Amino acid sequence: MQYPNNIKKSYNHISVSHSNRGMSLENLLNHTNDYYIKKDIALIYKKPTPIGVAEVSYSDHKKLIKKAYFKEQSTLDYNGIYKGKYIEFDAKETLNKTAFPIANVHTHQIDQIRGVIRHQGIAFLIIKMNNFYYLLKGEDFLLFIDNSNRKSIPYTYIKNNAHLIKEGYQPALDYLNTVDEIYFKGE
Amino acid sequence: MQYPNNIKKSYNHISVSHSNRGMSLENLLNHTNDYYIKKDIALIYKKPTPIGVAEVSYSDHKKLIKKAYFKEQSTLDYNGIYKGKYIEFDAKETLNKTAFPIANVHTHQIDQIRGVIRHQGIAFLIIKMNNFYYLLKGEDFLLFIDNSNRKSIPYTYIKNNAHLIKEGYQPALDYLNTVDEIYFKGE
């Protein structure tokens, strides 16, 4: 179906929560984690990006980095504790509307998802796609990639197997509410 | 008692494991954590030091940091999962032989120790003092600072309440063996 350009635009806007528009997924999660910490709901932090320092200088007894480069995280970006359980996850965004490219998740991150699950922790991906936020359990992500040669996960698989995270005001992206429904059902 | 200088020196050496001499506490722990990961015993990592990036440049499409400064970690330096439990700890060294200066542990780190325990995780300090390595449970650390106005913890308190970590070759500093004795007794 074809919409005139302006109608299509306003249609697209309906599914987007106005308060959070323009905020990056990382910012939404940082705000949300700050909220969880302030309310003592969970202690979950984004790990700092690792860097390799090549050159430093000293001014006023303070060490200043003059040359450095970004390195890759060997784990997922976010981890912490919630209701006594270890949680680790990563946030991924794609502009692709029909499939999530698996290359977005690096090999060592896939290994880490396996490892966290093996050690009885909770591991998942938060995926932003088509203006929705999904929580895809590590188990369901691995189920797909271990049983398929495809280079991307079809959007229908995500719609059917991942869990929609409701957007809100405080917190902006209450993913622990989704974690409750999945991992703490009946508690 | 006074020893001639050379005898005192050789006496001091007895308590030090030769293989690890000269390795910093951070290196010992990094080696140990690598060993735990390789043997699939635990997934525990040192968090990267957070930096504030002030200036970047691009060469060959690679982002290069031209100016940045070190920031303070808001959590403890090490965290991860062991036997399904969340673990967070920090490593501290003092050259003071009679007392451990509490100023070594920043206020936000003390808050973090309280938080991890409140959320049913395992929190502790690994303290290097007098050439020994001690695991001081978060609970015992808080017990001291909450009931004392002192600016440092006497070495006797550490000797009596902390747990000695045995040095070895592989892993260099098997602190999870100590964690087993304290937190997983009878399992």
Residue B49 to chain A, least CA–CA distance (Å): 7
For chain B, the domain total comes to: 1
> E-assigned strands of A49-114?
51-59, 62-70, 78-82, 85-93, 99-101
**Per-residue confidence (pLDDT) for residue A175, from 0 to 100:** 98
Q: Concatenated DSSP letters for B149-172?
A: --SEEEHHHHHHHSEEPPB-SSSS
The kind and range of the H/E element at A24 are none
- pLDDT category of residue A4 using cuts at 50, 70 and 90: very low
Quick check: A67 and B69 CB within 8 A? Answer: no
Quick check: B121 and A81 CB within 8 A? Answer: yes
**B63: nearest CA partner in chain A:** A69
Interface test with A, best of B33, B40, B43, B108 (most A CBs within 10 A): B43
Q: Is the pLDDT of residue B2 over 60?
A: no
Quick check: A112 and B43 CB within 8 A? Answer: yes
Give the Cα separation of A19 and B36 in Å (integer). Answer: 44
Tally Cβ neighbours within 10 Å of residue A164: 12
Distance of CA B2 to the CA centre of its chain: 33
Q: Which of A17-21, A89-93, B74-78, B119-123 is predicted least confidently?
A: A17-21
**Per-residue confidence (pLDDT) for residue A9, from 0 to 100:** 37
Average pLDDT of the residues in A80-102: 97
Quick check: A51 and B48 CB within 8 A? Answer: yes
Average pLDDT of the residues in A6-25: 51
Considering only CB atoms, B48 lies closest to which of A50, A81, A115, namely A50
Average pLDDT, rounded, for chain B: 89
Report the CATH number that the domain containing residue B28 is assigned in CATH.
3.40.1350.10
**A39: nearest CA partner in chain B:** B115
Quick check: B81 and A49 CB within 8 A? Answer: no
Token pair, residue B170, equals 């592989």
User: How many Cβ contacts (< 8 angstroms) between chains A and B?
Assistant: 101
- pLDDT category of residue B63 using cuts at 50, 70 and 90: confident
| Domain extent at residue A27 | 5-183
Q: Is the pLDDT of residue B3 over 90?
A: no
- How far separated are the first and last CA of chain B, in Å rounded? 46
Contact A142, A125 (CB under 8 A): no
- Tell me the β-bridge partners of A90: A125
Quick check: A80 and B65 CB within 8 A? Answer: no
Q: Is the ipTM of this complex over 0.90?
A: no
